[in-house]
Structure 1
């Protein structure tokens, strides 16, 4: 029968991780990777994982040089890809997000940039993990649940979740997905199920009580994505929309994405994918849990990107 580290073993490791001595912390990180990558370990009690992450968080807190910070952030995120147990992998990821949400408001302005970097590394590693699993539906569902459940960074109704953390995720999400698809060791990774991966943002946009949160998601995630998915023929007339100073292209993502089922759909042509995602936004906006103010904005978003399409068969919407 598989064993797990005992409760008596976890506190010392957490204590060593948070040591003021760098050599002690470095050894503890190596030991952490050994413990979690042991094939005989299949799970870890939630309380023990929380203790470990408290130690890991302050281990990173005390890394004080840019190169050291970058190396440690990468080393911590790569542990996700080294844990053989799927269950413990997601428990480790959940521990990261719980610790980040819990400690975020206490991070001072001199340290916030390195924690932005740590979040970016974990988002990227999470996408590479799901990609290695061929975007298996239950794994994607578990990942989305970690982000959107109470205590998760994209939970819409938990006042403990700092809004700036959701803003940062919206800022980097598509960029890191595009980067992960571009560095895949496979010559042709399975298409990323974009509607599935964006579902936590669809739900947050629909339910957030904060205007600035909705506006941030639309401006840095939805709008750039739909712009990137829009075909740009040579004879296309000038857009009536105000151009962005720098519009991302997400070339890896656009070339290798689908809606929700990579095996059945394969890579979906960008215009078809754009229409399907707009349809998804329309459907979420129509849900009874969507706030009225957010519903109007989501309908307007849908309408603005469908205005040049043949909208026959679509339901008329009063977005005023």
Structure 2
């Protein structure tokens, strides 16, 4: 489709780019958080104003191209609001596909648009846009379609990412796909199993309730029994209605032990996912680092298909338990430090203090040897002051002259007779 090609009753591609530039800076100028959220919802819901699928896709294409172009100029203070806008636009995109009954053609068109504008090497999308898109894809898809999508449809929705992970030369894209999509499915497996079991329990209760009503209709023929059934009918219809009203809520959210809502979870056929990944990763043209990374993920899916969970709990809960364990250990250490020593411990410490230490004795001997010259000098000074005689003035003068380097007077020479020599 050409950039200047105008759809029937719609906009051209260039006109939509101009519109999105205005919407972008409208979001840029909004600083209050609540108004940012309201404005983001209003902008994202503009997709439903377009009546045809082609016009919607052209609108989405202009949005992602605008984000790719303007991303480098967003400062860190405005980054969160545009993260939120991307999340809201993606959510409304899934709702538009949901309104079409999750038709396979609509799903393929949306996935082609997203992968072409964001993950394709020629898209020139910044790493921040790629990383955030891969991080929020499963979350927003779960919010919109967790209650309706089947395992086969979910496999179709993640298949483009599997193909990109197998062929990409970008290590960042490979890491984000494996971590944000494939390993996220593995981590959500316990919640998905709980969701499936609760759904099966609800269906079994409905079947039991309908079977019980049929038995009552066959067995009760008396008028009194009919009257009783007439009185019990409202309560029975209420219980059946309550289970039916609870069905849409199945899959919309799971409440953990700490009361936090972990959100809806998508259902997957783990064996089918493992087979699809193995089919892609086993090709000869696949880079070795991609193959190694995908094989690790394949093992996890195979373990899930076999009934063994790689992790016993959700990572958030496990992390909280780890933090609680660290806090308890720190508290125990503080208590041990604050507790006074017992008498036995004190006695042992005193005995150790009284026991001779050879190392300490050698240190004491060395210190004594070092202190002896100083002691001798002090005692010598004391003796000179009190016990010894004072030198005569002449001797003192001679000593001072020697110190000053003065020439000393020569003493008298005695003549020796020649014969005695």
Q: Same fold (TM over 0.5)?
A: yes
Identify, as 1 or 2, the structure richer in helix.
2
Match among 82, 86, 91 for residue 115 of structure 1: 82
Q: Are the equivalent residues in 1 in contact too, given 2:5–2:13 (CA < 8 A)?
A: no
Q: Are the equivalent residues in 1 in contact too, given 2:45–2:92 (CA < 8 A)?
A: yes
Classify the secondary structure of the residue corresponding to 1:118.
Answer: helix
Separation in 2, partners of 1:110, 1:204: 32
Structure 1 gap ranges (5+): 8-39, 183-187, 234-247, 255-269, 311-320
Question: Is 1:103–2:103 an aligned residue pair?
Answer: no
Match among 41, 54, 57 for residue 74 of structure 1: 41
C-alpha change, 1:293 and 1:64, in structure 2 (3 Å) is same
Match among 157, 161, 167 for residue 207 of structure 1: 167
Match among 271, 276, 281 for residue 272 of structure 2: 276
Match in the other structure for 2:55: 88
C-alpha change, 1:102 and 1:291, in structure 2 (3 Å) is farther
Shift of 1:129: 1.0
Q: Are the equivalent residues in 1 in contact too, given 2:47–2:59 (CA < 8 A)?
A: yes
Question: Is 1:153–2:113 an aligned residue pair?
Answer: no
What pairs up with 1:119-138 in 2 under 5 angstroms?
119-138=86-105
Q: Are the equivalent residues in 2 in contact too, given 1:42–1:87 (CA < 8 A)?
A: no
Match in the other structure for 2:129: 165
Q: Are the equivalent residues in 1 in contact too, given 2:277–2:294 (CA < 8 A)?
A: yes
Structure 2 gap ranges (5+): 195-260, 307-421
TM-score by length of 1: 0.65
Deviations 1:175-230 (A, max 9, x none): 11111136xxxxx6454721222233223322332323322322232112123236
Shift of 1:90: 1.2
Separation in 2, partners of 1:177, 1:126: 10
Shift of 1:305: 2.9
C-alpha change, 1:227 and 1:41, in structure 2 (3 Å) is same
Separation in 2, partners of 1:232, 1:140: 26
C-alpha RMSD over aligned residues: 3.0
C-alpha change, 1:309 and 1:194, in structure 2 (3 Å) is closer
C-alpha change, 1:41 and 1:72, in structure 2 (3 Å) is farther
Match among 189, 196, 221 for residue 229 of structure 1: 189
Shift of 1:65: 1.4
Question: Is 1:44–2:11 an aligned residue pair?
Answer: yes
Separation in 2, partners of 1:203, 1:105: 28
For structure 1, which segment, 116-125 or 99-108, has the greater mean C-alpha deviation from structure 2 after superposition?
Answer: 99-108
TM-score by length of 2: 0.51
What pairs up with 1:156-305 in 2 under 5 angstroms?
157-158=121-122, 160-181=124-145, 189=148, 191=150, 193-229=153-189, 251-254=264-267, 270=268, 273-287=269-283, 290-305=286-301
C-alpha change, 1:74 and 1:105, in structure 2 (3 Å) is same
Deviations 1:136-175 (A, max 9, x none): 12211111111112xx1122x2372111211111211111
Deviations 1:96-116 (A, max 9, x none): 111111111221111110000
C-alpha change, 1:137 and 1:288, in structure 2 (3 Å) is farther
Separation in 1, partners of 2:9, 2:67: 24
Asked which structure has the greater CA Rg, the reply is 2
The count of aligned residue pairs is 237
Question: Is 1:65–2:61 an aligned residue pair?
Answer: no
Classify the secondary structure of the residue corresponding to 2:119.
Answer: coil
Separation in 2, partners of 1:190, 1:306: 22
Match in the other structure for 1:12: none
Match in the other structure for 2:357: none
Classify the secondary structure of the residue corresponding to 1:134.
Answer: coil
